[in-house]
Homo-oligomer: A and B are copies of this chain.
Amino acid sequence: MKETQAAWPAGIRKTKQRRFVLALLDKADAPLSASEIFDRVKSEDAAIWLSTVYRILDRFAGEGLVVKTTVADGGAALYARNRNRHRHYAVCVNCRRIVGLENCPMESFEPKLTERDFRVLGHRVEMYGYCRDCDKKLSGAY
């Protein structure tokens, strides 16, 4: 029986480490940082090095397999599998939970830039606030 594996992009050598990283991102439902990925791969008894994780993510991002994001506070960068339908997130400012946003504010938006002729290629949107649990906790309603 053949292993079920998403199509592997041409021109990317298939190594153990890369397989692990991609599989992890495939099943993750929120973006992960390089060190989270590193920890998870290692917890599955696979040998990997943090710098390798960065190199893999960088390559994958260049190849369009994953998208790199950074969150407002400027901590570690986050990486998510590119599912070709771009996605935005809301981040809980208290516990850092990341919640998906199902629509995109740019769908029906006509940007007015101060510099004419700026060629817009893409955008990033991020919302922040309190997730369900933190909101409850902090408002004291138990």
- Interface set of A (CB-CB < 8 Å, partner B): 68-74, 77, 90, 92-93, 99-103, 105-106, 109-132, 135
Contacts and interface: CB of A to CB of B under 8 A. Distances in A.
Nearest to A97: B115
A106 to B, nearest CB: 6
Given A113-B99, A132-B115, A125 B122 contact: no
Q: Please list the 5 inter-chain residue pairs (A to B) with the smallest Cβ-Cβ separation, ordered nearest first.
A: A121-B129, A105-B109, A105-B105, A102-B112, A100-B114
B102 A113 contact: yes
Contacts of A113: 90, 99-102
Contacts of A90: 111, 113, 115, 118, 120
Given A90-B113, A100-B114, A127 B119 contact: no
A114 B103 CA distance: 10
A71 B86 CA distance: 18
Contact of A118 (B69, B121, B125, B130): B130
A19 to B, nearest CB: 26
16 contacts: A72-B124, A90-B111, A90-B115, A90-B118, A99-B113, A101-B113, A102-B113, A105-B125, A111-B127, A118-B132, A118-B135, A120-B128, A120-B129, A121-B129, A121-B130, A124-B125
A74 B72 contact: no
A31 to B, nearest CB: 13
